[in-house]
A = this chain, B = another copy of it.
Amino acid sequence: MKAHVWVMPKRTVLDPQGQTIQHTLAGLGYAEVKDVRQGKFFVLDLGGWTREEAQGQLERISKDVLTNPVIEEYRFEIID
């Protein structure tokens, strides 16, 4: 079983990495890219949990370890 976790800066938070990329792209001629947001993506290999257990544990792992809840938000999907 695998899990995919996305961690993104909250909409209300500035994203300087994303802005830098957007400016770089504009400078390279990609003016059609109006906005860039950069986040993190995790692939976790899981063993020994039922799908229901994984759901609960992933909620805790995402919230407590992978995300800074002051400035970031997360979502996850369990695969298989």
- The one of B34, B39, B66 that contacts A45, using a Cβ cutoff of 8 Å: B34
Which range holds the interface residue count of chain A?
20 to 34
- The one of B25, B38, B54 that contacts A41, using a Cβ cutoff of 8 Å: B38
Q: Is A24 an interface residue (CB 8 A)?
A: yes
In the complex, are the beta carbons of A42 and B32 less than 8 A apart?
Answer: no
Q: What are 11 inter-chain pairs, A to B, with CB distance below 8 A?
A: A8-B43, A30-B57, A31-B48, A32-B54, A33-B45, A35-B45, A38-B42, A39-B42, A39-B43, A40-B40, A41-B41
A36 to B61, CA, bound (A): 12
Kindly report which residue of chain B lies nearest to residue A22, judged by CB atoms.
B44
Instruction: Among A30, A44, A48, find the residue whose CB has the most chain B CB atoms closer than 10 A.
Output: A44
